[in-house]
């Protein structure tokens, strides 16, 4: 939708646009339709945090019939621009926005054809003809000058199709709405896990609201053995939504092409992680809150992160979660941002578009240190989800277990899984659960897992990698067992990453580093190695903006 919006705004009336959608609806995509949400699922962004489309959500919602709002228990909610929305309702909004864009395209003379219920099954780059062939379900073939791949999320069901009590993801969520009278294991403890918890909890009990706004949970009859156990590597729950001073990330904070060129020229062809941390975290914090800055002055990025992580790891998980909930409530009520968290969010927005110019050394540092902290902080758990988790925990029905890196989950002959891990006392645990839900979120895809066979061709696309700055660092990584480090025929050492190589304009790069002139990829699972943090609406806005710059110039 954001790509189409850019095309309409750029008034590309000399282009003919074809949109292929495997389902019968535009705009809602996976997260905001029945494929990724049920009634109980909510967005983690509010009206004021949504990049502008055509109409503000608030204005749109004032015209939504009351029966529809009633379906989502919305009549009691005093709507304002700071409220999050049920995802399915948000999907209706997005579909409505797509219709408005189509209307505008029609008026401005951009010929647009929508192919509903048509699945693209292959894409082939026709080098000599300077064209791209698109093959669709039903056998038809189309030929285009350019193709933009926006196929979005993909949650395969390989094991779930064959195993009982095993779910490769919580999507589509309606499959989890079952009567359950046993313990359920969830791998992961972030937003995807929370989606699963919300569905399981509603199917097996009810929440009621207390006078102080907290919730109490009561099980339905005959579900006395129902319990959910989250399993997480860090042993932490994600952070809460809070009030943001800047409701949307500022695109002007992203490095311009010119700025990137200068930084890279000064740094052996790389953008150093420390440079970005200094400019987009340290300096920003020193201006916004000098007293907070004093606490980190002189600390390296690693020391700062250890300091923030230690503060979290030294507390009991749900106690910390409750504290953060209270802090976020105050922030929202008083419109008072939590400055260090907001600055970290802004940093992660900028870092995402610099990663492709990191050295392999910095990528390894980023993955070990900054990325885990960012992942916790920018999850933005909605307040009502937090109240539900706390109520379930208070009722003794939700636990979180910290597992080790070597932990594993395997299918059990009895159905469900055997979870094997070393617990916090160093004891090996092997536990059977009758139901297992994998909630690690969108998993990255590797080059040879691309769904379009025609593109698994190294003259068109190639696997993502980053170069090492120093051979010695690569050799040390190899010695310490890092299997992602390889030495290529040129003698260079590379760090292999998931997904494909792309440039700043989301054009895939072939094995010689040459950008495709006909293809663009903004489907997150296929570019996640070089685009590690973002899949949200602001990513859609930035990526489509970069692509249109190239498209309009051609």
Ligand X SMILES: Cc1cc2nc3c(=O)[nH]c(=O)nc-3n(C[C@H](O)[C@H](O)[C@H](O)COP(=O)(O)OP(=O)(O)OC[C@H]3O[C@@H](n4cnc5c(N)ncnc54)[C@H](O)[C@@H]3O)c2cc1C
Q: Which of 39, 54, 119, 312 touches ligand X by CB under 6 A?
A: 119
Continuous H helices in 491-536 = none
- Our finding on whether 21 is near ligand X (CB under 6 A) is yes
* 185: nearest Cα among 387, 379, 421, 375: 421
* 32: nearest Cα among 540, 543, 437: 540
Site string for ligand X, 220-239 (x = CB under 6 A): --------------------
- Our finding on whether 120 is near ligand X (CB under 6 A) is yes
Considering only the stretches 16-24, 344-352, 363-371, 422-430, report the one whose residues sit in contact with ligand X under the rule CB under 6 A: 16-24
Q: Which of 44, 352, 359, 385 touches ligand X by CB under 6 A?
A: 44
Residue with tokens 């800055």: 293
In the complex, least distance from residue 286 CB atom to ligand X, rounded to whole angstroms = 29
In the range 427-456, which residues lie near ligand X by CB under 6 A? Answer: 442
In the complex, least distance from residue 26 CB atom to ligand X, rounded to whole angstroms = 7
Q: Where are the beta strands (DSSP E) in 226-360?
A: 227-232
Q: Which of 4, 6, 17, 36 touches ligand X by CB under 6 A?
A: 36
In the complex, least distance from residue 518 CB atom to ligand X, rounded to whole angstroms = 18
β 519-521/147-149 pair status: parallel
* Minimum CB distance to ligand X smaller for 154 or for 264: 154
Considering only the stretches 105-113, 255-263, 267-275, 536-544, report the one whose residues sit in contact with ligand X under the rule CB under 6 A: 536-544
214: left (phi over 0), alpha (psi -120 to 50) or beta: beta
Q: Which of 11, 18, 22, 48 touches ligand X by CB under 6 A?
A: 22
* Minimum CB distance to ligand X smaller for 187 or for 227: 187
In the complex, least distance from residue 36 CB atom to ligand X, rounded to whole angstroms = 4
- Our finding on whether 466 is near ligand X (CB under 6 A) is no
- Our finding on whether 383 is near ligand X (CB under 6 A) is no
- Our finding on whether 31 is near ligand X (CB under 6 A) is yes
CA angle 466, 238, 332 (to 5 degrees): 120
If one counts every other C-beta atom within 10 angstroms of the C-beta of residue 62, the result is: 9
* 67: nearest Cα among 55, 75, 76, 59: 75
Residue with tokens 């399915």: 88
* 22: nearest Cα among 98, 119, 149, 150: 119
Q: Are 180 and 226 in contact (CB under 8 A)?
A: yes
In the complex, least distance from residue 2 CB atom to ligand X, rounded to whole angstroms = 8
Two tokens at 484? 């992602």
| Residues in contact with 128: Cβ distance below 8 Å, sequence separation at least 6, in sequence order | none
In the complex, least distance from residue 468 CB atom to ligand X, rounded to whole angstroms = 31
Site string for ligand X, 516-535 (x = CB under 6 A): -------------------x
Q: Which of 64, 112, 152, 181 touches ligand X by CB under 6 A?
A: 152
Site string for ligand X, 64-103 (x = CB under 6 A): ----------------------------------------
Q: Which of 15, 39, 56, 153 touches ligand X by CB under 6 A?
A: 153
In the complex, least distance from residue 37 CB atom to ligand X, rounded to whole angstroms = 7
In the complex, least distance from residue 511 CB atom to ligand X, rounded to whole angstroms = 25
Q: Report the distance separating Cα 194 and Cα 186, nearest Å.
A: 10
Q: Which of 7, 30, 180, 360 touches ligand X by CB under 6 A?
A: 30
* 143: nearest Cα among 454, 527, 551: 454
* Minimum CB distance to ligand X smaller for 241 or for 518: 241
* 401: nearest Cα among 420, 378, 387, 416: 420
In the complex, least distance from residue 148 CB atom to ligand X, rounded to whole angstroms = 11
* Minimum CB distance to ligand X smaller for 23 or for 315: 23
- Our finding on whether 540 is near ligand X (CB under 6 A) is yes
Q: Report the distance separating Cα 142 and Cα 130, nearest Å.
A: 14
Q: Report the distance separating Cα 24 and Cα 383, nearest Å.
A: 33
In the range 123-142, which residues lie near ligand X by CB under 6 A? Answer: none
Two tokens at 45? 């962004």
- Cis-peptide into 357, omega within 30 deg: no
- Our finding on whether 20 is near ligand X (CB under 6 A) is yes
Considering only the stretches 20-28, 55-63, 309-317, 331-339, report the one whose residues sit in contact with ligand X under the rule CB under 6 A: 20-28
- What one-character-per-residue DSSP string does 513-535 give? SPBPSSEEE--GGGTTTTS-S--
Q: Are 432 and 418 in contact (CB under 8 A)?
A: yes
If one counts every other C-beta atom within 10 angstroms of the C-beta of residue 268, the result is: 11
- Rg of the chain over Cα atoms, rounded to whole angstroms, equals 24
Which positions lie near ligand X, rule CB under 6 A?
20-23, 29-31, 36, 43-45, 119-120, 150-153, 442, 535-537, 540
């Amino acid at each position: 939708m954001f790509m189409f919006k850019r095309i309409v705004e750029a008034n590309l009336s000399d282009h003919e646009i074809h949109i292929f959608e495997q389902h019968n609806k535009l705009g809602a995509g996976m997260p905001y339709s029945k494929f990724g949400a049920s009634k109980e699922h909510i967005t983690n962004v509010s009206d004021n945090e949504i990049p502008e489309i055509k109409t503000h959500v608030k204005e749109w919602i004032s015209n939504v019939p009351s029966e529809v709002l009633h379906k989502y228990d919305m009549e009691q909610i005093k709507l304002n621009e700071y409220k999050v929305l049920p995802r399915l309702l948000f999907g209706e909004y997005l579909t409505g926005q797509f219709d408005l864009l189509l209307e505008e395209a029609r008026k401005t003379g951009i010929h647009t054809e929508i192919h509903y219920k048509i699945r693209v099954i292959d894409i082939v780059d026709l080098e000599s003809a300077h064209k791209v062939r698109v093959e669709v379900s039903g056998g038809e073939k189309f030929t285009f000058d350019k193709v933009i791949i926006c196929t979005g999320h993909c949650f395969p069901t390989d094991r779930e199709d064959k195993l009982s009590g095993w779910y490769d993801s919580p999507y589509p969520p309606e499959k989890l709405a079952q009567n359950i009278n046993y313990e359920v294991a969830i791998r992961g403890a972030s937003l995807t896990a929370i989606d699963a918890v919300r569905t399981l909890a509603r199917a097996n009990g009810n929440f009621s609201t207390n006078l102080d706004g907290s919730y109490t949970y009561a099980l339905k009859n005959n579900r006395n053995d129902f319990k959910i156990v989250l399993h997480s590597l860090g042993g932490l729950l994600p952070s809460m939504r809070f009030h943001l001073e800047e409701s949307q990330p500022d695109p002007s904070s992203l490095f311009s092409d010119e700025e990137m060129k200068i930084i890279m020229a000064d740094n052996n062809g790389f953008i150093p992680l420390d440079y970005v941390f200094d400019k987009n975290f340290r300096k920003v914090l020193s201006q916004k809150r000098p007293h907070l800055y004093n606490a980190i002055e002189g600390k390296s990025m690693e020391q700062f992160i250890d300091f923030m992580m230690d503060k979290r790891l030294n507390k009991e998980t749900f106690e910390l979660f409750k504290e953060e909930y209270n802090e976020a409530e105050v922030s929202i009520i008083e419109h008072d941002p939590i400055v260090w968290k907001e600055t970290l969010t802004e940093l992660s927005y900028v870092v995402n578009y610099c990663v492709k110019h990191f050295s392999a050394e910095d990528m390894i540092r980023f993955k070990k240190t900054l990325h885990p902290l960012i992942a916790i902080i920018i999850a933005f758990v909605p307040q009502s989800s937090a109240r539900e988790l706390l109520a379930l925990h208070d009722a003794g029905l939700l636990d979180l277990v910290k597992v080790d890196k070597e932990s594993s989950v395997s299918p059990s002959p009895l159905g469900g899984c055997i979870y094997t891990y070393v617990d916090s006392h160093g004891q090996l645990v092997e536990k059977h659960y009758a139901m297992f839900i994998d909630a690690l979120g969108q998993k990255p895809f590797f080059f040879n897992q691309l769904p379009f066979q025609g593109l698994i061709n190294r003259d068109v696309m190639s696997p993502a990698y980053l170069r090492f700055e120093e051979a010695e660092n690569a050799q040390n990584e190899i010695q310490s067992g890092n299997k992602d480090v390889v030495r290529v025929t040129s003698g260079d050492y590379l760090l292999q990453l998931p997904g494909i190589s792309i440039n700043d304009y989301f054009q895939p790069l072939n094995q010689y580093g040459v950008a495709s002139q006909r293809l663009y990829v903004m489907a997150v699972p296929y570019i996640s190695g070089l685009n590690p943090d973002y899949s949200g609406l602001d990513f859609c806005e930035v990526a489509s903006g970069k692509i249109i710059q190239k498209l309009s110039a051609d």
